[in-house]
Structure 1
Amino acid sequence: MSVDLHTHSNVSDGTESPAAVIAAAAAAGLQGLALTDHDTTSGWDEAIAAALEHRIALLPGMEITTLTENGISVHLLSYLHDPLHPGLSAAVAKARDGRLHRARRIADRLSVDFPLTWETVEQHVSAGATVGRPHLADALVGIGAVADRQEAFDHLLHSASPYYVGQDNMHPATAIRLVREAGGVPVLAHGMASARGRTVSVEQLEEMVAAGLAGVEVYHRDNAESGREVLRELAARHDLLVTGSSDYHGTGKDNLIGENTTPWETVEALCAQATGIAPIRPE
């Protein structure tokens, strides 16, 4: 049995509804998946209903963006946490607010050189969705400034672009502790995706383990093989979970649902650590 533990819907920066993501997983022959939208759990109810309809296992989750003390972006996957936990809820609400203000500032900078307005960007954001750079990319496609999201990121939205605006995020160790306090299971997402920018050191990985990291997403298309080996060695040293995922975004990325998966026995071990909520299992 195979499970895709990292997918996104249009509740954040994917292009399909939570129900459509579940349907895509079922059509691909997966036995389960996790919905891990950025800084939000608002897609969970729809995903749960769809999982029951399609008789597929679901781990409700979330992806949290964090920042190290030396400015490296680290993404953390949280599985099966209590969505009402006050500490974690407050932290992700602050992150969503930061994402919105950052997106507006980037849009303001882009508007100097392109016929882009905030109203144009809003047309590409689903109701209640967590706003991010992919929505800006879609707006740029919509006005004909670029051909697709990838071109937008390659030329206009990357971290060295004059239009780029950084965002304050919590430290990875802080996020890990909050996820644990909420009964969730924290797993490092694509931790060695060197093509995206700087990656963390082994010392920083060890710090995350000390904070309560449960696992590492090794099998992700953006992790270089040398980086995968670093993660496998870390997992072996500390008996961490080793996962594989697609990071599916619908048509927002080339990633195919189920292109990397996690064995069922690893999923069971992950679920055994959770005290927040239970996974959805087909009868």
Structure 2
Amino acid sequence: MKNLVDLHMHSTFSDGVRSPAELVAMACDLGLKAIALADHDTVDGIDEAVTAGAQCGLEVLPALEFSVAFGSYRDVHLLGYLLDYHDEGLQETLKEFRDRRERRGEAIVDKINEKLVFEGRSPISSAEAAALAGGALGRPHIAQVLMSKGYAHDMQDAFSHYLIPCDVPKRYFPMEEALAAIRRLGGVAVLAHPTTISTDRDTLTGIIDTLCGMGLDGIEVYNNVCNEIESAFLKAFAEKKGLVWTGGSDYHGIEEGISMGSGRGSMAVPYSCVENLKRVKASR
């Protein structure tokens, strides 16, 4: 994977199952030139990843994936690359989100326990799940506990039988606040897996046009949601609009058939994406 990168992955600090150092070790073994750790609404794992990357010659880009609301759309994901993740204001804002996320995880466990008791099974402990998390308690950590108890065969089984029906709504950043925060912190704002918002091209390009007027810098062209035709369309649209384009596996370590660096098998993101992100940042 010489000169290839993976600019979207998650660790135990949000909803991944591998530590930042483990992700770096995997990327080094694959021969990737750079990665971006983009945990959901937290930057707490970045220092660990950067330190581990320096030890094996892997470039680690600091990143953050905001959970965003935009108009009637909920759970839109916005990536902020190369931002000042040590900023005190950001840390305070993310701490509030982390606290809310922790309470959400505990509320999900409570609902799951109600279902388990109804099924004649012993309840699980949120502390067991929290012990698996490097940061805030996430749903994959709860799934791991369900699997260890024999209540679910695998991740998919845990989600379909417990985590999805027992879900609790998340809180989202308003889009304008997330874009403004990334800009204030000297970062580059990239819309993650755009087709999760809409697969209708007219609708999607209209949304991206609006976001460009609000400060969007780029779009994630290569990801695990787009097919090759959609990726080609998004890349052409990004180039037409003068946007940077990126790509990443969105690796969590729980998705069947998804690998770091190659996604579902055919993804190949060039290092030039990193250079373009740096170019945008330097132009500020």
TM-score where L is the length of structure 1:
0.85
**Is the 1:193–1:224 contact (alpha carbons within 8 Å) kept by the matching residues of 2?**
no
Q: Please, which of 263, 280, 283 is the counterpart of residue 273 of structure 1? A: 280
Q: Distance in 2 between matches of 1:87 and 1:181?
A: 10
Q: Distance in 2 between matches of 1:67 and 1:230?
A: 25
Given the alignment of the two structures, is residue 250 of structure 1 paired with residue 258 of structure 2, yes or no?
no
5 Å matches for 1:82-231? 82-114=84-116, 115-126=123-134, 129-158=135-164, 161=165, 163-193=166-196, 201-225=204-228, 227-228=230-231, 231=234
In structure 2, the residue matched to 1:263 is: 270
Select the structure with the greater relative contact order (CA < 8 A; seq sep ≥ 6): 1
Shift, 1:64, TM fit? 1.4
Deviations 1:86-142 (A, max 9, x none): 44333322222221121111111111111223233223323xx12222222222222
Q: Distance in 1 between matches of 2:278 and 2:183?
A: 13
**Is the 2:69–2:174 contact (alpha carbons within 8 Å) kept by the matching residues of 1?**
yes
**Is the 2:129–2:137 contact (alpha carbons within 8 Å) kept by the matching residues of 1?**
no
Deviations 1:61-89 (A, max 9, x none): 12111122314211111111111334433
Q: Distance in 1 between matches of 2:276 and 2:38?
A: 19
Q: Which amino acid aligns with 1:17?
A: S
Q: Please, which of 80, 83, 87 is the counterpart of residue 82 of structure 2? A: 80
Deviations 1:239-261 (A, max 9, x none): 11121211122356542111034
**Which range is displaced more, 201-210 or 37-46?**
201-210
Q: Distance in 2 between matches of 1:221 and 1:211?
A: 26
| Structure 2: segments with no counterpart, 5+ residues | 117-122
SS in 2 for 1:112: helix
Q: Which amino acid aligns with 1:189?
A: A
SS in 2 for 1:183: coil
**Which range is displaced more, 184-193 or 90-99?**
90-99
**Is the 2:155–2:254 contact (alpha carbons within 8 Å) kept by the matching residues of 1?**
no
Q: Cα RMSD (Å) of the superposition?
A: 2.4
Q: Which amino acid aligns with 2:160?
A: D
Residues 1:156 and 1:209: Cα distance change in structure 2 (over 3 Å) = farther
Residues 1:233 and 1:92: Cα distance change in structure 2 (over 3 Å) = farther
TM-score where L is the length of structure 2:
0.85
Q: Distance in 2 between matches of 1:154 and 1:79?
A: 32
Shift, 1:236, TM fit? 3.1
Q: Which amino acid aligns with 1:273?
A: V
Shift, 1:49, TM fit? 1.7
Residues 1:227 and 1:166: Cα distance change in structure 2 (over 3 Å) = farther
Q: Distance in 2 between matches of 1:8 and 1:119?
A: 21
Deviations 1:125-183 (A, max 9, x none): 23xx122222222222222221122222233323xx2x121122112232112111111
Residues 1:35 and 1:253: Cα distance change in structure 2 (over 3 Å) = farther
**Is the 2:195–2:204 contact (alpha carbons within 8 Å) kept by the matching residues of 1?**
no
**Is the 1:5–1:261 contact (alpha carbons within 8 Å) kept by the matching residues of 2?**
no
| Structure 1: segments with no counterpart, 5+ residues | 276-283
**Is the 1:134–1:149 contact (alpha carbons within 8 Å) kept by the matching residues of 2?**
yes
Deviations 1:215-267 (A, max 9, x none): 11111122245643553354133211121211122356542111034222221
Residues 1:201 and 1:88: Cα distance change in structure 2 (over 3 Å) = farther
After the TM superposition, list the runs of 4 or more consecutive aligned residues in structure 1 that deviate by more than 6 angstroms: none
Number of corresponding residues: 267
